[in-house]
Chain A
Amino acid sequence: MAASAILRVEKLKKYFPVKSLPFSRKRSFLKAVDDVTFTLHAGETLGIVGESGCGKTTVGRTIMRIYEPTSGQCWWRVGDSAETMEDFFCYKNAQMRRIRHQIQMIFQDPYASLNPRMTVQDIISEGLKANGLVSGGREMINTVADIMEKVGLLPEYMKRYPHEFSGGQRQRIGIARVIVMRPKVVICDEPVSALDVSVQAQIINLLEDLRSEFGLTYLFIAHDLSVVKHISDRIAVMYLGKIVEKTDTDRLFEAPLHPYTQGLLQAIPVPDPHQRKSGHRMLIAGDIPSPIDPPEGCRFVKRCSKAMDRCRVETPALLEVREGHEVACFLYPNPRE
């Protein structure tokens, strides 16, 4: 881990208040993200995977401050020196505005995330205008044309409306409007899950090209393991608002430690019918429990085949059990104890 940290999320919590019964005094919370800590290193891609409802999107949206965090910090490297980091969760609006264009987000649904009544030019230049990055006129048009070419769109389409584009092209527009601001960190919130498989590959390749060209750092949120495997350097596996395992991509796929990760990897369909019969597949039983009322102890205890008594009482912490391999499970003893 030679690369220096560019963004560090510490003990991030996001609870959503849930409407209880009328006249009831009890207020319950949906614990979408519960104590999540991770570091993004400059130039890397960190994948976050998990079932739907595990809180991975909420992590991204809270870092963007689309949602206000319940608690926790988000340290952000100011300037180029590795030492000075500031927690932008305590920034006021005006301060946030100054760094806004440096942390950006690509949205999941390319159909819903583009305003149907704005031209492509307006959509792409919106961020530039809002952050005062480019003065208007010719320069603006040139910047937009440049970025359209970079993401594989014809600049002639500048005056068209989103409904005239296919899903893949729309996602390219969504990428262009983010990249045009030259951000440092891009949060990709399932950027390909709404697209055809053939188009998915194109968009993934585009994202990789852009990463090397502009020196971007990605936080790549997805539920598709094959996509994450392809693009990520490291992967964090989330379950019910917590990170259960975090390590390098290769190591995660070769030697997963957490029972949940093991089950998740086993669930990947094998395209070879002969191989399919030979191996015994351990599948995860049951459904993901409600995050309003998560189980006591380890969150995964009710679906875990290796659950012990201790798991029902204590919550395992995310510990580095091997070098560069963190896992939150009592099966693996804390090396420091």
Chain B
Amino acid sequence: MGKSFRWYRKKVEKIEEAASPLNIVTYRKLVWIKFKTHRLALMGAVILILLVLFSFVGPLFTSVSYEDMDFGSIFSPPFTEGHFLGTDELGHDVLVRLMYGGRVSLFVGFVSALLTTIIGTAIGLFSGYYGSILDRLLMRFVDIMLSIPTLPILLTLTLVFGSGISGIILVLTVFGWMGVARLVRGLTLTIRESEYVVSAKAVGVRNLSVLFKHVLPNVLPVIIVSATLNVSYSILTESSLSYLGLGIQPPMPSWGNMLQKSMNYILGTAMGVTPWWLTFFPGMMIFFAVLNVNFLGDGLRDALDPKFTSHT
């Protein structure tokens, strides 16, 4: 109690010092200070960077490929000679596959979140700002998209577009933008009526310019947060698609399809042991990625809110 209180005080002091009239503090600086003092968010950012390094730089330090099979030691448990996190039923090295799987999972997660956010934001902004018929058309389209049962369509689409990375991203984007669109539209409706937008228009600023200079910057914090939530959603959906056998197909690994394959062995024994490591490690990777993306989003939201100065 005492310790955490002291820490809290220190943080408030830091923010107040930065915001004192003697210092010229730009909004960006203040955001950075607030973000820096948000412990969980900082931790989230660091762990995510480590995960990215692990997946994209890690494979450079190993000569083993994700396709290489060591038939001599299948189902070897972690800490076996040569296989730090063990091997699977075909003798693939789990550690190496986690690295390559991370490439797929993180890439799919971030890229589809980015695309989803861009499309959803654009549709939400125009729908909310211009209103009337455009709004009604776009929002009915959103309703239609939302009422389509996603899973059967996903299954069909992955069959049509193939189950490669681009197919997965396409499918996740096509069915993922509606939430962002609705969120952004709602906020745009409020901001459109705000005094600063009315006064900008009174000054003679053109509509498109109002949209990008006034509305967008004020929706941005919410967009960023929803984007981070979308990253975790995409990673999880990719996993469940892979789990259903429709995502990334073996031999290419993703955290999701590694998890899915391991399910075949989780209840039985193979070579005398239950290969728990096949489930545990990919599961933990997904868990950490999603958790830390959410922490990061939390911190960004707090840091970008001008009224928010303290939180422990």
By a beta-carbon cutoff of 8 Å, the part of chain A in contact with chain B is 64, 66, 97, 100-101, 104-105, 107, 109, 112-118, 126-127, 130-131, 159-161, 163-164, 174, 177-178, 181
| Complex Cα–Cα for A127 and B306 (A) | 26
Known: A113-B195, A113-B199, A114-B196. A159 touches B204 (CB 8 A): no
| In the bound complex, CA of A105 to CA of B195 (Å) | 12
11 contacts between A and B (CB under 8 A): A101-B203, A104-B203, A112-B196, A113-B196, A113-B198, A115-B218, A117-B217, A126-B205, A130-B209, A131-B204, A161-B27
Contacts of B136 in A (CB 8 A): none
Q: Which 9 pairs from chain A and chain B are nearest by CB?
A: A112-B195, A127-B203, A113-B195, A100-B204, A115-B196, A117-B217, A130-B204, A130-B205, A113-B199
Minimum CB–CB distance from B104 to chain A (whole Å) comes to 37
Assess the A105–B199 pair: CB atoms within 8 A.
yes
Q: Is the CB of A126 within 8 A of B203?
A: yes
Chain B, range 190-224, C-beta contacts under 8 Å to A: 194-196, 198-206, 209, 213-214, 217-218
Q: How far is the CB of B260 from chain A (nearest CB, A)?
A: 45
CA distance A247 to B200 in the complex (A): 34
Q: With an 8 A cutoff between CB atoms, is B132 at the interface?
A: no
The answer to whether B27 and A126 have CB atoms under 8 Å apart is no
- Whether the pair B202, A64 counts as a contact (CB closer than 8 A) is yes
Say yes or no: A107-B195 contact (C-beta < 8 A), given A117-B27, A159-B26: yes
Rounded to whole Å, the gap between the CB of B308 and the closest CB of chain A is 12
Among A97, A127, A131, chain B packs the most CB atoms within 10 A around the CB of: A127
B306 adjacent to A126 (CB under 8 Å): no
Contacts of A113 in B (CB 8 A): 195-196, 198-199
Contacts of B213 in A (CB 8 A): 115, 118, 126
Instruction: Indicate whether A160 sits within 8 Å of B24 (C-beta atoms), given known contacts A115-B218, A116-B218, A130-B209.
Output: yes
What chain A residues lie within 8 Å of B200 (beta carbons)? 115, 126
Is A66 in contact with B202, judged by CB distance below 8 angstroms? Answer: yes
Among residues of B, the one whose C-beta sits closest to the C-beta of A133 is B204
B24 to chain A: closest residue by CB: A160
Residue of B nearest to A108 (CB): B195
- Give the docked Cα–Cα distance between A303 and B218 (Å): 46
Given contacts A97-B204, A174-B199, 7 further A-B contacts (CB under 8 A): A64-B202, A107-B198, A113-B195, A130-B204, A130-B205, A160-B24, A161-B27
Task: Give the size range of B's interface with the partner.
Answer: 20 to 34
Most buried by A among B194, B199, B202: B199
How many angstroms between the C-alpha atoms of A111 and B213 in the bound complex? 18
Chain A residues, Cβ within 8 Å of B209: 130
* Bound complex: CA A305 to CA B194 (Å): 41
Question: Which chain A residues lie closer than 8 Å to B306 at the CB level?
Answer: 116, 163
Selected contact of A104 from candidates B195, B202, B205, B206, CB within 8 Å: B202
A114 to B194 Cα, complex, angstroms:
10
Complex interface: chain B residues within 8 A of A101 (CB) = 203-204
Residues in B7-57 with C-beta less than 8 Å from chain A: 21, 24-27
Q: Are A112 and B194 within 8 A (Cβ)? A: yes
Compute how far the CA of A116 lies from the CA of B209 in the bound complex, rounded to whole angstroms. 16
Q: Which residues of B contact A131 (CB under 8 A)?
A: 204
**Cα(A174)–Cα(B200), bound, Å:** 11
Q: Which residues does chain A contribute within 8 Å of B217, judged by CB atoms?
A: 115, 117-118
B198: chain A residues at CB < 8 Å are: 66, 107, 113
Q: Are A159 and B24 in contact (CB under 8 A)?
A: yes
User: Once the chains are docked, how many angstroms separate the CA of A152 from the CA of B25?
Assistant: 21
Q: Which of chain B's residues 96-115 have a Cβ closer than 8 Å to chain A?
A: none
Q: Name the distance in Å between A227's Cβ and chain B's nearest Cβ.
A: 21
- Docked Cα-Cα span, A66 to B26, in Å, equals 32
Q: Do A105 and B196 have beta carbons less than 8 Å apart?
A: no
B197 nearest CB neighbor, chain A only: A115
CB distance from A174 to the nearest CB of B (A): 8
Question: Which residues of B have CB within 8 Å of A97?
Answer: 204
Q: Which of B21, B195, B202, B214 contacts A109 (CB 8 A)?
A: B195
User: Which of A112, A117, A126, A160 is in CB contact (< 8 Å) with B218?
Assistant: A117
In the assembled complex, the Cα of A178 lies from the Cα of B200 at a distance in Å of 10
- Establish whether residues B24 and A127, one from each chain, have CB atoms under 8 Å apart when the complex forms: no
Residues of A within 8 A of B195 (CB): 107, 109, 112-113
Chain A residues near B27: list those with CB within 8 A.
117, 161
Complex Cα–Cα for A127 and B213 (A): 13
Q: How far is the CB of B216 from chain A (nearest CB, A)?
A: 10
CA distance A119 to B209 in the complex (A): 16
A78→B213 CA distance, assembly (Å): 32
A104 CA to B25 CA, complexed, in Å: 31
Closest to B203 in A: A127
Chain A min CB distance to B10 (Å): 23
> Distance (Å) between the CB of A299 and the closest chain B CB?
28
B209 nearest in chain A by CB position: A130
Separation of A130 and B194 alpha carbons in the complex (Å) = 19
A97 to B202, CA, bound (A): 10
Cross-chain contact B199 with A107 (CB below 8 angstroms): yes
**Cα A72 to Cα B213 with chains together (Å):** 34
Q: Which residue of A lies closest to B205 (CB)?
A: A130
Q: Closest residue to A161 on the B side, CB-wise?
A: B27
Chain B residues near A118: list those with CB within 8 A.
213-214, 217
- In this complex, which of A64, A118, A174, A181 has the most chain B Cβ atoms within 10 angstroms of its Cβ? A118
* Residue in B closest to A112 when the chains form the complex, CB atoms: B195
Return chain B residues, CB-CB under 8 Å to A64. 202
Residues of chain A contacted by B194 (CB below 8 angstroms): 112
